[in-house]
């Protein structure tokens, strides 16, 4: 017998209409936030970054691939990792299908990590992804944009966590084939750039839960009867798509 509150169809409809009012309000707030993102000031990118790509060494300008807008996802795959972060991997699964639609709106989207290009290429083949993925191993790109940290920074900012890391961090570090300290040296993030009159400008950046818009399964689960069903274990259930035990699902 269910323990959830049961209502008549009429009562349910009244509740649904009130929720719909709030959902529409949420949509309007989202539209306003999108406008404010577009109106943020730009900051010039003056350093000459170089990346290793499938086509050879490329500059940041060349990564635009003939378009005027560039979205870069900072994927957690550090030099010592043997595999990409499971959470980053789960959000990357949805990108292949949207690339043509982004290209149609003058937007290039790609992924960047500090691991050597050969590691990224092998993992990309395993996951069956087609989006561009470049290595920033020989540049300060990830450090300058606040998503990678030196050993000293990890010790300074995350010392207490290193002493007794929570289970989720130990699990994620093990899943990527490295230790907790080296796992924490990388962070996820997204940076947006525009190319105008030959100059590159950063226009936006986000990290942490600001990246949930890429985790397409979350808004879907939010509309399922039991929602995310995570409780205090947010993120622990997430696996790479080829690691779920399908027989138990």
Rounded percentage of the chain residues whose pLDDT exceeds 70:
96
Band (pLDDT 50/70/90 cuts) for residue 246 is low
CA dist 129 and 223 (Å) reads 27
Residues 48-68 pLDDT 10s = 999 999 999 999 999 999 999
User: Tokens 């130990």 correspond to what residue?
Assistant: 170
The region of weakest confidence among 36-45, 111-120, 179-188, 235-244 is 235-244
The per-residue pLDDT for 48 is 94
What topology does CATH give the domain 43-148+186-225?
A: Glutaredoxin (3.40.30)
The per-residue pLDDT for 146 is 95
The pair of structure tokens assigned to 32 is 């306003």
Q: Find the mean pLDDT for residues 141-160.
A: 93
Domain definitions of the chain by residue range: 43-148+186-225
The pair of structure tokens assigned to 232 is 């205090």
Which parts of 40-179 fold into alpha helices (H)?
A: 60-63, 86-92, 95-104, 117-127, 141-144, 151-163, 167-176
Cβ atoms of 84 and 125 closer than 8 Å: no
What's the mean per-residue pLDDT of the chain? Answer: 94
Q: Is the pLDDT of residue 149 over 60?
A: yes
The per-residue pLDDT for 233 is 63
Residues 68-96 pLDDT 10s = 999 999 999 999 999 999 999 999 998 88
- Give the sign of the dihedral formed by CA 170, CA 161, CA 92, CA 141: negative
Give the E-state strand segments of 35-121 in sequence order: 43-44, 50-53, 56-59, 69-74, 107-113
Comparing 46 with 229, which gets the higher pLDDT?
46
The per-residue pLDDT for 97 is 87
Residues 225-239 pLDDT 10s = 999 888 766 667 889
- Burial (CB < 10 A; 0-12, 13-18, 19+), residue 191, is buried
Rounded percentage of the chain residues whose pLDDT exceeds 90:
84
pTM for this entry: 0.92
Band (pLDDT 50/70/90 cuts) for residue 247 is very low
């Amino acid at each position: 017998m269910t323990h959830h509150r049961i209502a008549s169809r009429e009562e349910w409809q009244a509740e649904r209409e009130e929720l719909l009012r709030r959902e529409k309000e949420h949509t309007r707030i989202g539209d306003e936030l999108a406008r404010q993102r577009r109106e943020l000031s730009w900051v010039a990118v003056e350093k000459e970054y170089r990346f290793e790509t499938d086509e050879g060494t490329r500059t940041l300008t060349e990564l635009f691939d003939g378009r005027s807008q560039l979205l870069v996802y900072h994927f957690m795959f550090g030099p010592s990792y043997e595999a990409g972060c499971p959470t980053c991997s789960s959000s990357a699964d949805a990108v292949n299908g949207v690339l043509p639609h982004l290209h149609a709106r003058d937007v290039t989207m790609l992924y960047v990590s500090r691991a050597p290009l050969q590691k990224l290429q092998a993992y990309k083949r395993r996951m069956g992804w087609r989006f561009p993925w470049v290595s920033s191993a020989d540049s300060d790109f990830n450090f300058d944009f606040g998503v990678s940290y030196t050993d000293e920074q990890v010790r300074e900012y995350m010392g207490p966590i290193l002493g007794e890391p929570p289970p989720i961090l130990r699990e994620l570090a093990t899943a990527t084939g490295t230790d907790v300290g080296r796992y924490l040296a990388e962070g996820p993030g997204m940076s947006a750039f525009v190319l105008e009159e030959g100059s590159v400008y950063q226009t936006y950046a986000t990290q942490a839960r600001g990246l949930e818009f890429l985790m397409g399964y979350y808004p879907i689960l939010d509309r399922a009867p039991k929602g995310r069903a995570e409780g205090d274990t947010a993120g622990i259930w997430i696996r790479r798509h080829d690691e779920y035990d399908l027989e138990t699902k």
